[in-house]
A and B are shown apart, each in its own frame.
Chain A
Amino acid sequence: MRPELSEYPFDWMLWRSLISASRLKHGSEKEYQSALRYIPYFKGVVNTIYNMGSPGQKFLKIIETYVERIVTAKENNRKVAMTTFCFSPALLHAMDIVPVSLEPMTVLGSVMWKRGCLDYMDFCTDIGFSETGCSSQRGSMGAYLARAASEIDFIVIDSAGVCDTNSNAFSFAATYLNKPFYGLNYPATLIDDQTKHYHRDDYRNMITFLETHTGKKLDIDRLREVLNQHAKQDALIHEIEELQMLVPNPMPVTYNFLIYAGRFFFSGVSLYTELLEEMLEIVKQNAKQGKSGLTGGQEKLRAFFIYIDHYSLDLKLWTLLDQRGISHLGNILSRGFSAKAPYIKYVQNHGYQIDTSTLDSMIDSITEINARMPMVRSIRGPYDLPHMWLEESAALAKLLKADCCVYNGTPGCRNTWSNVKLIANDLEKHGFPTHIMYGDAFDERVESWEITSTRLEEFFTIRGLL
């Protein structure tokens, strides 16, 4: 790794950049200029975020707070857990554990820094980790493995049985750092009784693990508080989702990103609730005026992402969509599966309910929430089972009145790359022109954004969509 990178901790650098960024709008011109010096590559993103209006500023606050909690965990006597984005952080927040979710941290590095997290990625390879693994973990994981970031105390994940690449990355980290490791493991089926029992046993066992390693008992009141917030957040998201179905879609392109990023950071925490409230307000206003959320005002096309987005410098994907008049209808990460979600409410037993009456019911609720995090739910088991990845993508595309579907992921994703051609063919049969992006969401060295975007635009033209 470049020597200068190990000089400053990764998360600390993120934090400083974020602080400079959130101060931008408050200070004088001079302060503005001096603040910009700290974030030379971050200017574009900052502009994009500020252009989102008040939710943008709230979002900056959220990530700043998230990273701050990591950086200051030791002095505040909190334990730090390395975890994955598909693990609901609500429980960790309830237990006062500071989560470091690797994938969102990689996203932050990728959108903010010119070289993204490439050097950390390469560090993983240096120490023997498979180069072909998923880049979303490899990015920030490298910093933690190189000990060029805050120290973590233990690792909890939930991707066994869902994504081996992901589980493998974390178990590698656990071995390399010699830290306690707990991995939830999911059966391929989702809603049968056997699976439900299994979820509960496994999840409770994990709580014991966390209690042992923090020396603290799970606090019922805090858990209730977190779940109540969670329910509120779900309701807000559902309302936004309903509005997204309107033509034109009143939601700005970047808001999907805020929805899922916020959820990965602060599910069950009030900051995220406030973000959602502010977003809903704007979307509602647009809806009332029959306005599209796009900057240009005119919606030419509605695109539904069936996997993740592309996180290169300056949020280039969103800028492209916005400029071309394309509405972003969400991706696998922005989907929610509470029993009241627009898609799930017609599907028996697939959604989760939040029941805060007793400790047991609360643990069951959070267990089920976790079993329905985007990847945990959508890409476990065969993709074409009823209401799994394929069927749910097709149904959502239809519900959201999408004109086309787009796949974007990372080459490290064995899970989706094994089936992406199948799902593209199947979605075409459902009448959705489907484009497969070959780039890596986090590593521009795989395919430059130049090529990726050219192919994407070509798809829109050739298939007669634009």
Chain B
Amino acid sequence: MTIIAGCDVGSLTSKAVIMQQDKILAVEIIKSKAKPQESANLVLENALTKAGLKLPDVQFIVGTGYGRDHIPFVHKTMSEISCHARGAKWLVPSAKTIIDIGGQDCKVIKLDKTGNVSKFIANDKCASGTGRFLEVMARMMNISIQELGEVSEKSKQPIQFASMCTVWAQADVVKYLNSGFALEDIGAGINMAMANRVSMLVSAIGIETDICMTGGVSKNSGVFVSLERILGHKIKKARKLDPQLAGALGAALIANDQIKGRA
């Protein structure tokens, strides 16, 4: 019985996936601690407990995410790009373009026929294309990050925001809030601003269908739908697993390859 694991220590959340070959045994998402070691230990331990396993049972672990170089127990580290690519391909086998929006980063990855990364682009500019941006905005509006995603549906007239910079966009949000604009229009405007940013990355790399979205922000239905509208293409939903786990899943799959490669 080959047990493998992937551990994605992100800036905001840490994720672990434990697999037995192609079968997922357990998954876990926790909020990242200040120290990556702690996050890694905790998230893996939780996942192992769920699976009824112990660390020595796991044969190969791949680490990824911002804290990847500081995870004590991994056998190999890979960048988030490769892991998300691998994970997304498993979740949506027809995927050619992957949009991964996490807490600190937004990446668009293109895959070739065999599922290898043929090109990628990451957001270097201002931070308005990141999950963190949404969190700051949600906090500004006194709603939860889940609610922020949902408000878009109710809005008839999303507000157009200064989408270039978090600090500045915030000033705008405050202003609109104080001027009595409807919460849903502001929220929808924020999701739209985000989608606009991301769509620029997507266009820069060139769209190829199918498109699939991973990372925490893919759970924000407002961004998801706005992005579909701007791109003019449907985005495939990952149904087999929470898309926020795609990085950890990819890491686990890469661990699996490693084991196979050895055998």
Contact = CB atoms under 8 A, between A and B. Distances in A.
A308 interface: no
Contacts of A131: 125, 200
B204 A451 contact: no
A451 B171 contact: yes
B141 interface: no
Interface in B159-216: 160-164, 168, 171-172, 175-176, 193, 196, 199-200, 203-204
B175 A450 contact: yes
B203 A448 contact: no
A1 interface: yes
A2 interface: yes
B163 A445 contact: yes
A33 B203 CA distance: 38
Contacts of A125: 200, 203-204
Contact of B161 (A122, A126, A448): A448
Main secondary structure of the interface of B (DSSP, over half): helix
Contacts, number: 47
A126 B204 contact: yes
A128 interface: yes
Contacts of B204: 125-128
B52 interface: no
Contacts of A3: 232
Interface in A10-61: none
A422 interface: no
A76 to B, nearest CB: 35
Interface in A83-124: 122-123
Contacts of A444: 160, 162
A448 B203 CA distance: 25
Interface string A431-458: 0000000000000111110110010000
Contacts of B125: 131
Contacts of A451: 162, 168, 171-172, 175
A430 B232 CA distance: 55
Contacts of B175: 448, 450-451, 454
B241 interface: no
B140 interface: no
Given A3-B232, A131-B125, A448 B200 contact: no
A450 B200 contact: no
A131 B172 CA distance: 22
A155 B164 CA distance: 31
Given A2-B230, A2-B232, A3-B232, A447 B168 contact: yes
14 contacts: A2-B230, A3-B232, A125-B203, A131-B125, A444-B162, A446-B164, A446-B168, A447-B162, A447-B168, A448-B172, A450-B172, A450-B175, A451-B168, A454-B175
Given A131-B125, A131-B200, A445-B193, 8 more contacts: A125-B203, A445-B196, A446-B164, A448-B161, A448-B172, A448-B175, A450-B175, A451-B175
